[in-house]
Amino acid sequence: MTGGASWTAGVPPAQTTETNSEHRGWRSRGYLPHLDAPELVQHVVFRLADSLPAHIRAEIGKIPPVERVQTVDASLDQGFGRQDLAHPEIAGLVESALLRFDGDRYSIVAWCVMPNHVHTLIETHIGHPLSRIVHAWKSFTAKQANRYLERRGVFWAPEYFDRYMRDDAHLAATRLYIEQNPVKARLCQKASDWHFSSAWPG
């Protein structure tokens, strides 16, 4: 769905309003706030279970939310942990999972599979809550990845980060950020060189 589509950011619900029985509006699990609303473009990031060192996790709760996101983001780009997503077979598995229900449960605007975390920019559809979409991605890929690695145990970290696009300029900047993430992390020279990304022409 990334083709030549022209995307708009959508309109978030009021903070005190639940959108319907499927989409729960604003909520918090104590670590990060989440917004679950249909027809809203959101930046979603989920990471491997071992991708943040203990000392960084300990500091996360002590800093303001904006700085928290920046701290986590910078840490992930340093490539901590086993970097299981650096295996082309596993990165391809994750990318296939992201694209499987594109145009059905959600429309995917951009994505990038990094060595220890994943960026997506999606517009959720009515009846398909964001939390359920992310759970499906993580559940399916964890089982398949552990099978490939001949390993058991937790693959993904339990939480995920999401941020709705405030306006079309925010959406455009976020899409650029996602596709440039491998360049920023010095994994390639051009965004189009990174195979597991919406920027890759192949």
Residue 10 domain flag: no
- Domain count within the chain: 1
Residue 136 domain flag: yes
Residue 14 domain flag: no
Q: What is the residue range of 35's domain?
A: 25-193
What's the pLDDT at 26?
A: 44
Residue 152 domain flag: yes
- The CATH number of the domain holding residue 170 is 3.30.70.1290
Residue 148 domain flag: yes
Residue 167 domain flag: yes
Question: Cβ distance 129 to 27 under 8 Å?
Answer: no
Q: Say how far apart CA 129 and CA 137 lie, in whole Å.
A: 13
> Mind listing the pLDDT tens digit of every residue in the chain (202 residues)?
554 455 566 655 544 344 455 655 545 554 455 577 788 899 999 999 999 998 888 888 788 766 777 888 889 999 999 999 999 999 999 999 999 999 999 999 999 999 999 999 999 999 999 999 999 999 999 999 999 999 999 999 998 988 888 889 999 999 999 999 999 999 999 999 999 999 999 8
Residue 6 domain flag: no
What's the pLDDT at 128?
A: 92
Residue 16 domain flag: no
What's the pLDDT at 144?
A: 97
